[in-house]
Amino acid sequence: MTETAQPRRARAEIDLGALRANVRTLRARIAPHVRIMAVVKADAYGHGAVRCARAALDAGADWLGTATPHEALALRAAGIVDVPVMCWLWTPGDPWDQGIEAGLDMSVSGLWALEEVVAAARATGGTARIQLKADTGLGRNGCQPADWPELVDRALAAEAEGLVKVTGLWSHFACADEPHHPSIAAQLDVFRSMIDHAEKAGIDPEVRHIANSPATLTLPEAHFDLVRPGIAMYGVSPSPELGTSADLGLRPVMSLKASVALVKRVPAGHGVSYGHHYVTGTDTTLGLVPLGYADGVPRHASGRGPVLIDGHRRTVAGRVAMDQFVVDLDGLTPEPGTEAVLFGPGDEGEPTAEDWAVAADTIAYEIVTRIGARVPRVYLGG
Ligand SMILES: *Cc1c(COP(=O)(O)O)cnc(C)c1O
């Protein structure tokens, strides 16, 4: 499957200038000594990991972060070699040896991971850069406070043998997107005491960090040595409670566009798309948009998703199908090939990813991240 440089069916335009501006905006909101880890997991939330990583570094990001080791190794393979790259979602049997050779910062949440990374260090003869992850209350990955002393002691023993270097102590928030949620202060207290324990025991980390985008934007006391923004860098608000991206001074990076594939008149009373969940109320015009749930347009937005066509907002009529959906154009008669904008920055009246999140009863993270591989990314401002 190849599509030309000007893909006709659909495209996700990625505005790298906006991404760089967002990194600078975040930089201006943190103290000068605080470093930025640009989070580019999940193909940079659907925006393209390598292009976005390079743009973020150009704009002053200091570190890169991914979930899986494979994502981190792909950045190295693309030639991003002189920058620290951290990855945090390890599964037993993952390639710790390659991580050591690639100089990755590898997160360790428990003893099984420490044992695997130590074995890989012995086998390769290298020293593994590891970061110990504390579960300060999220209840997901990370080491519980009760198990922390043993993990710290074992890491120190491996450090004494030259097998690992503990480069970081870190954690992750559960509710940073809900300002004043009581868990925020509680997690910070636990994090400080787990850092304190590790440092008193002899760990001397390069970085301590806990802040995701919402904490970067709203919680200076959570910035420590480094912040890990993801969604904010892509110009999307972490949650409606924090305001829109415009309120936050951020510019959406992705615009999702398609070409209207068919326009036709239909009589009143005509069923539209699978299940006939929409029936035309009057004689009207229908437009066919060649994007569907295989492309990441959420089926949950059936009957609700907003689209801009010829300067007018229209709504998905009936079910989103795998490859296409229909809008009731309500009498508009655009030429086939006219641009349909599902979301973008909003400048021309087009919806935003945040609007689609409301329509699909989800978060805007999911809207941009799930845009599928069948949609070509077209880079602007490169
Ligand atoms: C995804 C992720 C981030 C970035 O979160 P945003 O809310 O997108 O800023 C930071 N840290 C970890 C551990 C993550 O998994």
The whole-number average pLDDT for the span 81-89 is: 97
Mutation pick for ligand 1 pocket among 29, 187, 212 (CB with most ligand atoms within 8 Å): 212
Distance, CA 264 to ligand 1 centroid (Å)?
45
Condensed to tens digits (0 to 9), the pLDDT of residues 8-26 reads 999 999 999 999 999 999 9
Condensed to tens digits (0 to 9), the pLDDT of residues 178-223 reads 999 999 999 999 999 999 999 999 999 999 999 999 999 999 999 9
356-376 burial by CB neighbour count: b if 16+ within 10 A, else e? bbbbbeebbbbbbbbbeeebb
Q: Does residue 168 have its Cβ closer than 6 Å to ligand 1? A: no
Q: Is 190 helix (H, G, I), strand (E, B) or coil?
A: helix
From residue 74, alpha-carbon distances to 42, 59, 86, 98, 323 in Å are 12, 21, 12, 11, 30
Q: Is 215 helix (H, G, I), strand (E, B) or coil?
A: helix
Which of the 8 DSSP states describes residue 140? S
The ligand 1 atom at the shortest distance from the C-alpha of residue 39 is 4
Distance, CA 271 to ligand 1 centroid (Å)?
43
Distance, CA 4 to ligand 1 centroid (Å)?
33
Residues labelled as active-site residues: 41, 274
Mutation pick for ligand 1 pocket among 228, 241, 242 (CB with most ligand atoms within 8 Å): 228
Amino acid at 244: T
Distance, CA 228 to ligand 1 centroid (Å)?
6
Within 8 A by CB and 6+ apart from 6, the residues are none
**Rounded-to-integer distance, Cα 86 and Cα 105, Å:** 4
Q: Does residue 88 have its Cβ closer than 6 Å to ligand 1? A: yes
Token match 């904008």: residue? Answer: 341
Given this model, what pLDDT does residue 6 score? 65
pLDDT confidence band for 1 (50 / 70 / 90): very low
**Rounded-to-integer distance, Cα 287 and Cα 265, Å:** 9
Within 8 A by CB and 6+ apart from 263, the residues are 285, 286, 287, 288, 329, 333, 334, 335, 336, 338
Of all residues in the chain, what percent carry a pLDDT higher than 70?
98
Q: Does residue 209 have its Cβ closer than 6 Å to ligand 1? A: no
Measure the CA dihedral 93/97/102/103, to 10°: 100
pLDDT confidence band for 382 (50 / 70 / 90): confident
pTM score above 0.75: yes
Condensed to tens digits (0 to 9), the pLDDT of residues 267-278 reads 999 999 999 999
- List 284's β-bridge partners, or say none: 266
Nearest in space to 326 (alpha carbons), one of 256, 269, 282, 266 = 266
Q: Does residue 230 have its Cβ closer than 6 Å to ligand 1? A: yes
Q: Does residue 231 have its Cβ closer than 6 Å to ligand 1? A: yes
Nearest in space to 80 (alpha carbons), one of 27, 24, 46, 40 = 40
Amino acid at 218: T
Of all residues in the chain, what percent carry a pLDDT higher than 90?
98
Q: Is 31 helix (H, G, I), strand (E, B) or coil?
A: coil
At residue 290, what are phi and psi to the nearest 5 degrees?
-85, 55
**Rounded-to-integer distance, Cα 19 and Cα 52, Å:** 8
Condensed to tens digits (0 to 9), the pLDDT of residues 284-322 reads 999 999 999 999 999 999 999 999 999 999 999 999 999
Within 8 A by CB and 6+ apart from 201, the residues are 149, 152, 153, 156
Given this model, what pLDDT does residue 5 score? 56
Q: Does residue 364 have its Cβ closer than 6 Å to ligand 1? A: no
At residue 44, what are phi and psi to the nearest 5 degrees?
55, 55
Distance, CA 227 to ligand 1 centroid (Å)?
10
- Going by CA atoms, what residue is nearest to atom 10 of ligand 1? 212
**Rounded-to-integer distance, Cα 27 and Cα 233, Å:** 11
- How many Cα atoms within 13 Å fall on the side-chain side of residue 143? 27
- Going by CA atoms, what residue is nearest to atom 6 of ligand 1? 230
Q: Is 187 helix (H, G, I), strand (E, B) or coil?
A: helix
Task: Please provide the average confidence, as pLDDT, over all residues in the chain.
Answer: 97
- The sheet carrying 306-309 orders its strands as 262-266, 284-289, 325-328, 312-317, 306-309, 339-343, 254-259, 10-15, 377-380
Token match 């570190």: residue? Answer: 63
Nearest in space to 363 (alpha carbons), one of 292, 300, 291, 290 = 300
Q: Does residue 238 have its Cβ closer than 6 Å to ligand 1? A: yes
Q: Is the pLDDT of residue 2 over 60?
A: no
pLDDT confidence band for 3 (50 / 70 / 90): very low
